[in-house]
Structures are given as structure tokens and as C-alpha cells.
Structure 1
Amino acid sequence: MFNGATVHGIAGIRALRHPAENPLLIAAILTTAAGYGMWFIIVSWLASSSDATGAEAEIRNLFLDGGTLSQVLLVIPLFPLLIWIIRAFLYAQLRATSVQMSPTQFPEGYRMVVEAARELGLRRVPDAYVVLGNGQINAFAAGHGFRRFVAVYSDLFEIGGQARDPEALRFIIGHEVGHIAAGHVSYFRLIFSQLVAYVPFLGQAFSRAQEYTADNHGYAYAPEGVPGAMGVLSGGKYLGAEVNTHALADRATREKGFWLHMSNWLSSHPINTWRAHALRDRSRPGRLMIRPPESTAWFPPSAPSGYQRSGSWPTPEQMLAVLDSTTLSVLSEEQFGRYPGVSYETPRNELRWASPVPIRTEPVGQGAFTGDSSTTGSVGPQQPGAYGYTPPASPAQEQHVDTPGTTPADATRPETPHSETGQS
């Protein structure tokens, strides 16, 4: 209860915790304390104003007429009990209906759970279950009493179809075990921070900070699973293998506007583009409120963003010229896209997170999109000045920045020191 779930103490692994999480946790605790304080004041007032008249009597009746306010007054003091019952029922459901991972059931996945528990310093191996997914992509972590458990939807075992991607599953399991290691499923933490979920923007920001923390744990355990995990979150369990994670991450810097930010502010999880950007660039924590600056993009834009005026979008002929410039390096039956004018020597299944080499300097053809549909240019991740950021000459030269003790990715992917699947 007082030592935390890991050997690292109740604070967990500090280097893996998003810097905004603890301040937001304090805000959540204060919000919950204020909520209970307000409840006590209102109940005391109702008990002492039975003979009220006029406007005071009308306000009193609003709390006692059996409507929404009455229900709120009844539910708030029951939150601790309700949380306990819901967690107990969830654990019972998993034990009664799901397949428990073990040495005799899904041992490959269970080994990932055990190894993640060891890597992240858990005192005990959490229970692990496979839940019937019915097409849904999800996983979650929870607890009941001193017990901790993770559940993985069955569809996550099918990532990539026949060409399975165990590293993606490893990252997702590491993310869920990370929630446990960071104390996110603690009963007392939930009690003291539950009411913040009903505060617009603040509750969602707190949840996103926790998700970034869990992603940091997932990365520390399985950095090579990043492209597969982001692919399945954005493209699904089959097409996810075709998602160019660099292109996804770069869009975090170029998709702008109030409504795009609003979609993130109202989400309990970081939006996929921002999340991919945070997993690629380990020199700074994931963004909670404001998009990453465009100077952190790795590649020039290959297509317009929704923020730009439609008059700057390329014509069909201009974009066909760009697509035709990649036909020699992209087989017609593939859905994985290369950057125009760039040669790739990396196998496709490793390309999602690799920097393309070598760089060709000749123009890629008329109409290559650079934000101005009338321009022509060459592209490549190492072309200085094209987009304000120059990655290392070789991905193998990149170093971890903020996560000690992690295992570096192989030389085909940039090394970077972050639930869940779907809404894990």
C-alpha cells in the first residue's frame, strides 16, 4: 500500500514519468477535495434549512426533487464503494470468461508480460488475460485490492495478419504494465482523483499525461515496437504494417488550427500524430496542449495539410508527377509510401521507422509538394534547410536522451528513449 507496485518505490521510475503528470495529479486531488468539501457544505445547508422560504426554498427543492442534482448528492459519497465494486466485478468477469495467459495459454504473450514486469521493477507478475476482441483494438490495465492485471484484446495478437509483429504487441503490453508500474491503477489514486474526470479539459489533460507516461514505459521495454503499435492504432491490425510512422509523426507539426487542438484537448489519449511525434523525438516530453513546432519535422511535406488554403493544394497532374517519381522504388501492389526522390535500402517491414538512404539530390519531377503547388524540388531527410531540422547522418548514431537503462533500437531505426492500443 505504501511502497508502490515496483521496487522503485511509490514514485515509480521518475525518468519515465511525464513532467506534467504529478502537477496535474495534485490538481486532480485538489479538485476531488473541493468536490467533497462542496458536497459536505451543501448537505449541511440542506439539513439546516428545512423551513426555508422563497428563493432559498426553491434552490433546496432542486437538490431534493429526485433529479440530477439529487443523484449527484447521493453518488459522490458512494464513489469509493462504487470504484471498489466496479473493479471487483471487472476482475471477476476476466477470471470467469477470458483466457488467462500462462505457460500453457498464450505463453509468448505471457512471457512479454513477465519480462515487462521484470524490466519495469514490479514486485509481482500481474495477471494477464486475452479478451475476445470482435474486431476491436484495445488493451487495459486495472487492479482490485492488491492484485494487478492486464487484459489484451484478441485482435492485437493478429497485428500484421500472417506476418505478425510481436514487437508491436510487446510495446503495447509494456505500455499496460507501465500503467501499473506508474501507480495509475492504485485504488487510492483513483479515489483521490476521480472527480477531475468531470472537469472539462483538466481531466482529459491528466489522462493524456498518464498515457504519455505509460508510453515511456512501453518504449523503455520495447522501443522497436513503436512503428507497429502506432501503425495498428492508426491503420488497423492489417494495414498498420503499411503505415509510414515518420509521415504520421511529421503531420503533428503541420496540422494546425483551433479545432484540431480541440480534438486533442477533449481526448483522454494523445491524438495519434502527436503521440507518434513524442515516441520519435525523445529529447522532449509529449505535447499536452499545443502541437510540436514545425521545426521538429524530419521530412519536407509530401502532401498538403488540412490547415492550408485549398488554393495552394496541388492539381491532380502535379501530384501524379510526384507519385510517378516513386514507381521505381514502390511495387504496385504495396500500400507503403516512400518519400519521392529517395532511394531505400531497408526491407519494407523495417522501413516504417527507418531513415531512407541514400539521399538523391536530383529533382523529383514537376509539382513535388512543398507547400507551394508551383514549385519543384528535391527531398530527403538530410537536406539542410528544407524544413528546419537535420537528423543524424545515420540512424545508428542517434542516442537516447531522457530514458536511462533502455535498450537501443537496431541500426535500421532512429534510436529514441513512451497505452495502449485503441483506448487502453
Structure 2
Amino acid sequence: MTSYPPPPSAPIQAPSTQPADPTVYNGTTVHGILGQKRIRHPWELPMLAVGIVFTVLAMLAWLVSAAVVIYGLVIGEYTPESISAPSEQQTFTTWAGLLWNWASTPVMGFIVQIVFIVGIMWIVIFIARAMMYANYRLRGVRMSPTQFPEGYRMVAEAAQYFGMRRIPDAYVVTGNGVINAFAFGHGLRRIVVVHSDLFEVGGKVRDPDALRFVIAHELGHHAAGHVSYFRILFSNLLHQVPIIGMAYSRAQEYTADNYGYAFCPQGAMGTIGVLGAGKYLNADVNTHEVADRAHTEGGLWTHLSVWFSATHPPLTWRAHALRDRTKPGSMWIRPGGNMFSAPLVPGGTFSKSYPTPAEALAMLDAADRERPAWATDQFGRFPGVDYTGLPAIRDMQVAAPLQQDRTSYVIPPGPYRDDARGPLTRQAGNPFAEGGASQQ
């Protein structure tokens, strides 16, 4: 069984030389345009290759269509009359009118829209990114050495750890109760936005390592090239494909989680608590119970909800992947293995297996007899309240659940490779360890 929390991340070392300026050709980090390949989820790059092929074919279709139309207009044979009443004597260019009529069918109409989008999406993406950047520059509170310096230090340390050539802009915006953070870019500039409700978690009396993990996750998107202009351009159409587009997005999120874990492994379970229950109740989230439900909550409908609607891995699947670093995060099928037996039947079980109210009350009474004093009153931790004498938040989050027997499922002890493909057997297996980058 692995120990919790994991050891702190490696100390930040200043680079021996000034990194070169970022360009379109050399990538966001000093590790090149593809970044560190070892840390990526194994599904990410193959699916990106599919997206590139799909986009290139769509671009070729757009160019051919445009050439046919322009040629027909120039020679005067591609007219509304020739399209509506084609004849056997029409040339190739006017015969294209038959394709136009065919394109009016629902299925082909969708394809025509895709082809049309290909012709304009390069400028649409550029304008959208520019407007988005301008929006947050005007309404966000910018982190700096004098404004939210603790958060800005987290950004700077993660950027240096990942080998980024320049530090991203970082902004705090009002969250209105929403826990979120995201990354995007414009040109060669990189931006991270953190909602205020999430940023508050970084205080000393809260869970600063959870915020460090989240910030490293977002910078991981930058370091992996997920938000670069050309990555978005060549994967945009892939996102429109049902199931495949969602899967590609989930693979990127697992990669970003790998970055977060590489930089701040001790913040992984805290992040699950915050994302699952918010900035106050996070302390009372038992992350073993969350991770175990990734395996026990099965069934057709849970998988369909992931395949068709999940741009991010479900929280339970992410918790399982962050706890068991011996294998990459699950993409299609629920992950295997639960460390503890749950007191309640899985949610997808037929209702006849559910406990009656009397049985539920009996289980509560039994748990209360075992529950330590510090585990009562599970309504969160709040700033300004003295919690002296209580366990640290992380100790509460990774404690063995009450009334749950240990199963035979065992996680080999770490340290682990940063791509979550087994234990770290040599230093070069860690892409950010000294000497690891030279063996890509």
C-alpha cells in the first residue's frame, strides 16, 4: 500500500542559461515543440494525429471546392440555371451543381458546414483568442510580485520547473461560488485564470498545496502545448466528432494532471476534495471513498455519460488515477480496483438492495461508536476558526474509511513515473529530473 501524502516535489533549481525566446517553431518550453513526451497520457498524441489528418483532409476538400466554384464562375458555366437544371452536356464545373443539390440533404449539409468552417476557422480562432485575452486583461486582477504574490510565486515556480521559456500571465476573477481555473493563449502569450473561490484555498490555514496542484495542472496545459494556436486549429474539428472529441479532451486533462502531480504530488488529494465538495467541505472529503467509487460505480449509463458528455475525466476516475500512479487514467472503461469495501451498495444497484431507513440508522450508530472526535461535525473548515488539536486536512482526507474492510487491491509503493506508467525505476523516468530531458 502506498503512503500518503506523497513526498514533496523536487526543489526548484534556477536554469543555468537564459531560455531562448518562444517562437512558433521551438515550443512553449525548452523541451521543444512536442514538450516532454514521457509525461503525456498515451492516448493524447495518437488522437491528435487523427485530428491533424482529419483537419488536413477537410482543408483539402475546402480548397478543391473553392477551386471548382472559382473556375466555374470565371468561365461563366457555374450559374444558378446550370445548377438547378443540369444536362448531360455540362462540363465538370457545371456538373458540380449536382454535388450542390446533393449537399442540400441533412447529412451532406452538415458536411458542407464543416467544410465551410474550415475555410474561416483560422481567423475565427485568432479573433476569439484575442477577444478572450482582452476581456480578462480588463476585468481580472493580475497576479504579480505585489498583488497576490503567493499565487504568483506558485505560477513562477511551476513555470520554471516545467522549463517554460516565459512565465504566463495569471489573473484572479470573481468565481461567484464556482470552483474553476483554466488556461488559454493568444499569439505566443500564455494565460492562466483562477476563480476567486478556488484561489482562496491557497491560504496557509486552508490547503495551499491543492492550489499549487491546480496551478501546475493549468501550466501543464501550456507546457504540453494544449492551448497553442496551431494545436487548437488542427484539433478543432476533432472536438466536433461525437465520442472521439470528448475522449481527446479527457486525454489532455489526464496529461495536465500528470504535470500537476509531477510538481506537487502532495496536493493531488486536496484538489480532489476541493473539486468534489468546494472550498470549505474539502477537509471532510475522504478521497479513498471517492477513488474507490471509480471502480464500484459501473453500468452502461455511467459509461455513456462519460463517452458522450465528459470533456474531463469524472472526478472519481481522476481520484483513482491520482491515487494509483502505476497506470494511466482510464479513458473508456471504469478503472479496476477498490482499496476498501464500501458500507453502501453502488448507486447503480437495484433499489431492493438499498438499506431501509432503520438499517441506515443502525449503520450510522455503529459508525458513530468508531468515529474519533475529530471526525465529527463534518461541515467544513472555515477561516478564522481555531482548529488546534485536530488532524491536518490531508490526514483527514487520506484516513482509512470507517467500517470499511481493506480489500486485496494493492498499490505498489512509489516513487512513480510522471506519466503514471509504473514505479520510477531510474532517474531518467522522471522527465523533469536532472538528466531526464536528454533521453527523450
TM-score normalized by the length of structure 2: 0.76
> Partner letter of residue 349 of structure 1?
I
Secondary structure at the residue paired with 2:291?
helix
SS of the residue corresponding to residue 10 of structure 1 reads coil
Match of 1:13 among 36, 45, 59: 36
Give runs of aligned pairs for residues 14-413 of structure 1, distance below 5 A: 14-44=37-67, 46=69, 48=72, 49-50=78-79, 51-53=82-84, 60=100, 74-159=116-201, 163-266=205-308, 267-293=310-336, 296-328=337-369, 329-331=371-373, 332-335=376-379, 347=391, 349-356=393-400, 379-381=404-406, 387-390=407-410, 398-403=413-418
Deviation, structure 1 residue 85: 1.0
**1:162 CA displacement:** 9.2
Q: In the alignment, residue 278 of structure 1 is paired with which amino acid?
A: A
SS in 2 for 1:327: helix
Match of 2:93 in 1: none
Kindly tell me: are residues 192 and 184 of structure 1, through their superposed partners in 2, closer, same or farther at Cα, counting changes over 3 Å? Answer: same
Q: Give the conservation status (yes or no) of the 8 Å contact 1:150–1:177.
A: yes
- Residue by residue over 1:212-240, the C-alpha shift from the partner in whole angstroms, topping out at 9 and shown as x without a partner, is 00000011111121122111211122222
Q: Quote the offset at 1:35 in angstroms.
A: 2.1
Q: In 2, Cα distance between the equivalents of 1:26 and 1:74?
A: 22
C-alpha contact 2:207 2:393 (8 A) present in aligned 1: no
Name the SS for the 1:141 alignment partner. strand
TM superposition shift of 1:151: 0.9
CA distance in 2 between partners of 1:323 and 1:351 (Å): 22
Q: Over residues 248-277 of structure 1, what are the superposed CA-to-partner deviations in whole Å (9 max), with x where a residue is unaligned?
A: 110000111111011111211111111111
Question: Match of 1:6, SS?
Answer: coil
1:12·1:182 contact (CA, 8 Å) conserved in 2? yes
**1:319-347 Cα shifts (integer Å, max 9, x gaps):** 322222221424442258xxxxxxxx992
Taking a change above 3 Å as real, the CA distance of residues 112 and 54 of structure 1, as seen in their structure-2 partners, is same
Distance in 2 of aligned mates of 1:24 and 1:74: 23
State the secondary structure of the residue aligned to 1:150: strand
Is the CA contact 1:46–1:60 (under 8 Å) kept in the aligned structure 2? no
Q: Structure 1 unaligned runs (5+)?
A: 337-344, 365-378, 382-386, 393-397, 409-416, 418-424
What secondary structure sits across from 1:134 in the alignment?
Answer: coil
- Give the whole-Å Cα distance in 2 for the aligned partners of 1:30 and 1:216: 27
Unaligned runs of 5+ in 2: 1-23, 73-77, 87-95, 381-388, 424-429, 431-440
Paired with 1:62 and 1:134, the residues of 2 have a C-alpha distance of 49
Shift of 1:37: 2.7
Shift of 1:301: 1.7
Amino acid at match of 2:367: T
The structure having more radius of gyration, on CA atoms, is 2
Structure 2 partner of 1:414: none
Go from structure 1 to structure 2 and tell me whether the alpha carbon gap of 1:346 and 1:112 turns closer, same or farther (over 3 Å shift): same
Change (3 A) 1:311 1:380: same
> How far apart, in 2, do the equivalents of 1:58 and 1:34 lie?
22
Q: 1:182 Cα deviation (Å)? A: 0.5
Q: CA deviation at 1:317?
A: 2.7
Alpha-carbon distance between aligned partners in 1 of 2:204 and 2:299, rounded to the nearest angstrom: 40
For 2:347 and 2:203, how far apart are their aligned partners in 1? 32
Query: What number of residue pairs does the alignment pair up?
Result: 367
Are the counterparts in 1 of residues 259 and 418 from structure 2 also a CA contact under 8 Å? no
Residues 64 and 311 from structure 1, CA distance in 2 versus in 1: closer, same or farther, beyond 3 angstroms? closer
